[in-house]
Amino acid sequence: MKFTPEKYAIPDAPMQPFIDTGEIWDFLNKTISTPVKVKEVVEKSLAKSRLNLEEVAILINATDPGSVQLIKEGAKELKKKIYGNRIVLFAPLYVGNKCSNNCAYCGFKASNRDAVRKTLSDKELVKEIEVLEDNGQKRLILVYGEHAQYSPEFIAQTVKIAYSVKKGNGEIRRVNINAAPLDIEGFRTVKEAGIGTYQVFQETYHREAYKTYHLRGKKADFDYRLTSLDRALEAGLDDVGIGALFGLYDW
């Protein structure tokens, strides 16, 4: 099925910011949710069709207990259609917590002089992975702060090390990374190392709230972070993940 994007206030274009706060609030404030509308949207979801903003607002604004239950049941059914009863877990492993950013909520922020900074050596990384393999782990997500030391080449090298470690019958089959946004060439470098999923947390998609919490450093650039997955896909990565830090704002 060919996807034709809906027309919103901001055109859907690669490498460009696409969130219009006023438009989102307009849908949330003006969209009326009824049991009939909720049923229609749930049925569309179960057909694996992408929802538009108005349809998402219908689900968010649902307050009728029957409608809320229908949404839960639909979500459960859709999950089974896509993944079955399979749940995939991965073990997080911090490679280094050095960071040049100053995010108000984070203990690793550059201004926290009490934080103990540590970057694993190659030998330390191998030992950590061996312990995880002894524990039966097959999938990792390597986590890095945003710092000049954690270049694409550094990240790629740690990914290669992770794949190379085999203790007994243990081995890591998939190495995902949670790292700062890269440019296209940087993403190509980590792709060549064989990463599984590239994951980046936007933290909040509300521009003004983002500005309040991200005070200094490259992470203070809302648009560069927002468009990071465009660059990742342009570089050839085929699996990416997003994330929000709940509590900063409504989205």
246 within a domain of the structure (yes/no) = no
31 within a domain of the structure (yes/no) = yes
User: Has this prediction a pTM greater than 0.85?
Assistant: yes
Q: Are residues 197 and 136 in the same domain?
A: yes
Q: Are residues 78 and 108 in the same domain?
A: no
Identify which of 172, 174, 178, 177 has the alpha carbon closest to the alpha carbon of residue 129: 172
228 within a domain of the structure (yes/no) = yes
Instruction: State the pLDDT at residue 227.
Output: 96
Domain count within the chain: 2
Q: Are residues 25 and 110 in the same domain?
A: no
Q: Are residues 168 and 64 in the same domain?
A: no
Q: Are residues 104 and 227 in the same domain?
A: yes
Place of tokens 């990565």: 237
173 within a domain of the structure (yes/no) = yes
The helix/strand/coil state of 224 is helix
11 within a domain of the structure (yes/no) = no
Instruction: State the pLDDT at residue 4.
Output: 61
Which residue type sits at 120? L
Residue 95: which CATH number? 3.20.20.70
Q: Are residues 203 and 108 in the same domain?
A: yes
Q: Are residues 113 and 181 in the same domain?
A: yes
Q: Are residues 195 and 228 in the same domain?
A: yes
Q: Are residues 76 and 27 in the same domain?
A: yes
Q: Are residues 96 and 65 in the same domain?
A: no
Residues 163-192: b if buried by 16+ CB within 10 A, e if exposed: bebeeeebebebbbbbbbbbeeebbbbbbe
5 within a domain of the structure (yes/no) = no
Domain carrying residue 154: 91-241
171 within a domain of the structure (yes/no) = yes
Show which of 36, 65, 83 is a domain's final residue: 83
Instruction: State the pLDDT at residue 5.
Output: 61
Q: Are residues 79 and 113 in the same domain?
A: no
Q: Are residues 73 and 195 in the same domain?
A: no
Instruction: State the pLDDT at residue 36.
Output: 98
Measured between alpha carbons, how far is 175 from 196 in angstroms, rounded to an integer?
5
| pLDDT mean values, one per 10 residues, the chain (251 residues) | 63 82 93 98 96 96 98 97 92 98 97 97 98 96 98 98 94 97 98 98 96 97 96 97 91 80
